[in-house]
Amino acid sequence: MRKIDLSYSDDLLKDHEIIALKEQVILAHNQIHNKTGLGNELLGWLDYPNTYNKEEFNKVKKIAKKIKNDSDILVVIGIGGSYLGARAVIEAINHTFYNLLPKSKRKYPQILFAGNNLSSNYMNDLIEIMEDKDISINVISKSGTTMETTIAFRILKKFMERKYGKEAYKRIYVTTDKEKGLMKTLADKKGYETFVIPDDIGGRFSVLTSVGLLSMAVSGVNIDELINGAKDALEEYSNQNVFENNSYKYAAIRNIFYRKGKDLEILVNYEPSLQFFSEWWKQLFAESEGKDGKGIMPLSLTYSTDLHSLGQYIQDGKRNLFETIINIEKVRSDIRICEDEDDDKEFEFLNGKSVDYVNKKAFEGTKMAHIKGNVPNVVITIPELNEYYLGKLIYFFQKSCALSGYLLGVNPFDQPGVEEYKRNMIRLIKSAQ
């Protein structure tokens, strides 16, 4: 089975509503593939699974092998699209407690993250963890001017220079612009190994480039299979027919719900390892659609955990929301619920059942309850959580997001509002001097 299945609650949405968007979908499809729409200069991700730089890809694998051999920890320094995609894949594919496994079982370096916040506690705790370990660093920034990344790199660069002296440059890897920017200038000056962020791919669409691939490969992720999944998705989701292209159908459904006043979408997963995949998804859609006074607010929840905190609101609260559920058919491992001689028989019906079986019944029962409560459900089912299907799912959402943005009438590839807080922060810091 090599597909992503998409279904939706047809009692809350009819096929004729999707048919009504057919011509708009075709128009948006042509704008994407002919590169004539808003933000067309940032459509490099569209064909990237076929056109990626093979030399750079092989370099990623070569350096990843080096880091595996000489490092206990790889610290990834970046924020937003510079780290979310990588962390999403690493946590989705690997052991749930990857970083806590002993080295003999983990086999690969621990992957830690910095530069995604401005917490002094976080930074000091990170440095304490690294004191007696061999470290490599991958700093990711196209311009080198992002405040959180700059601060973390400044501190950790000094840490590396104190620890390794003149040899520190051999353990610092920079992913940045090919030719210009502060980070590129510094890398050339210090002799750091560099990787390229393509000019025509924005941060939140960059997960399948060197931005995400290096740390993924270090953690043991099969990046060849990741790209293969995206390559098959590129072909499958190039059909302009909204009923034959699940990526487009998802975009159309979202816009129909939005026009009905449902302006809050919850991405739901039933696997905690998908938490950071959800974080990546939130950035993808929030930065792409949240502009010009428009857009669906993307949120994410992990069930059944969050049913015990937000389930009441979802069931009976304001009816402006819908759910998109990622359903994994086959889990990596399962475990049976054993009989308990101390059980008072109330839960005797669980005996012999697997935990995944119960989890899937929780999914089915929750879906039934929420639909009854007028919360539309869209279900995206993938056969299993591996590199191939994750690569395919990443491309699925990227293509859907681009089309959805055009249906909404916005440029899905810029993010002008992100800069406002940065300008204020810098002004306030300078004014206090």
> Which pLDDT does position 2 carry in this prediction?
58
Q: Is 321 helix (H, G, I), strand (E, B) or coil?
A: strand
Angle between helices 147-164 and 418-431 (to 10 degrees): 60
Whether pLDDT at 339 is above 90: no
> Which pLDDT does position 11 carry in this prediction?
79
CA distance linking residue 285 with residue 204, whole number of Å: 9
Whether pLDDT at 3 is above 70: no
Cβ atoms of 286 and 298 within 8 Å: the answer is yes
Handedness of CA 301, 238, 83, 224 (dihedral sign): positive
> Which pLDDT does position 1 carry in this prediction?
40
Whether pLDDT at 103 is above 90: no
Cβ atoms of 253 and 417 within 8 Å: the answer is no
Whether pLDDT at 342 is above 80: no
User: Which domains does the chain show, CATH number per domain?
Assistant: 5-37+226-412 (3.40.50.10490), 47-221 (3.40.50.10490)
Whether pLDDT at 116 is above 50: yes
Whether pLDDT at 84 is above 90: yes
Q: What is the DSSP string of 111-159?
A: EEEESS---HHHHHHHHHHHTTS-EEEEEE-SSS--HHHHHHHHHHHHH
Please pick, among 107, 178, 361, 422, the residue that the annotation labels catalytic: 422
The 10s digit of each residue's pLDDT in 128-178 is 999 999 999 999 999 888 999 999 999 999 999 999 999 999 999 999 999
Average pLDDT, the chain: 95
The 10s digit of each residue's pLDDT in 389-412 is 999 999 999 999 999 999 999 999
Whether pLDDT at 317 is above 90: yes
The 10s digit of each residue's pLDDT in 21-65 is 999 999 999 999 999 999 999 999 999 999 999 999 999 999 999
Please pick, among 287, 289, 323, 387, the residue that the annotation labels catalytic: 287
Q: How many helices (H) and strands (E) does the chain have?
A: 17, 10
The 10s digit of each residue's pLDDT in 203-237 is 999 999 999 999 999 999 999 999 999 999 999 99
CA distance linking residue 2 with residue 160, whole number of Å: 45
> Which pLDDT does position 422 carry in this prediction?
81
4 band by pLDDT with thresholds 50, 70 and 90:
confident
Sequence-separated (6 or more) residues with CB below 8 Å from residue 343: none
H/E segment holding residue 352: none
- Residues of the chain with pLDDT > 90, as a percent, come to 88
**Mean of pLDDT values over 311-331:** 97
The verdict on whether 422 is a catalytic residue reads yes
The verdict on whether 287 is a catalytic residue reads yes
The 10s digit of each residue's pLDDT in 254-304 is 999 999 999 999 999 999 999 999 999 999 999 999 999 999 999 999 999
